[in-house]
Amino acid sequence: MAEQEAFVRRGLTKAVFTTAQASGAWPNGSRVAKCRSAPGDAHQDGALATVVGSVGPADVADGHGPAYAYFVEWDDYRGLPVGIASWRLLLREG
């Protein structure tokens, strides 16, 4: 991770994220949809977002690995990238 830079974007709140693209991850700019929502999540299944960065892969003990952490901007909340695990996203075609 040393080669990946973290950036801070200031607005109503601060976000620390990367615009680096991890080897083997979906490319930055990919369109994704939320899946496997949990109660209380701000975005529920089907919410759309754009990938702006990624880190990984990492092996995950609970059977989801190898996994990536993606930084996405939700369509309804542009300008504040948030991190989300790859197993909670589906790649959208087109």
- Tell me the mean pLDDT in the region 57-85: 84
Tell me what pLDDT residue 65 has.
64
Closest C-alpha among 68, 62, 65, 63 to residue 83: 68
Q: Confirm if 32 and 70 have CB atoms less than 8 A apart.
A: yes
Residue 12 pLDDT exceeds 60 = no
Residue 76 pLDDT exceeds 80 = yes
- Tell me the mean pLDDT in the region 27-51: 95
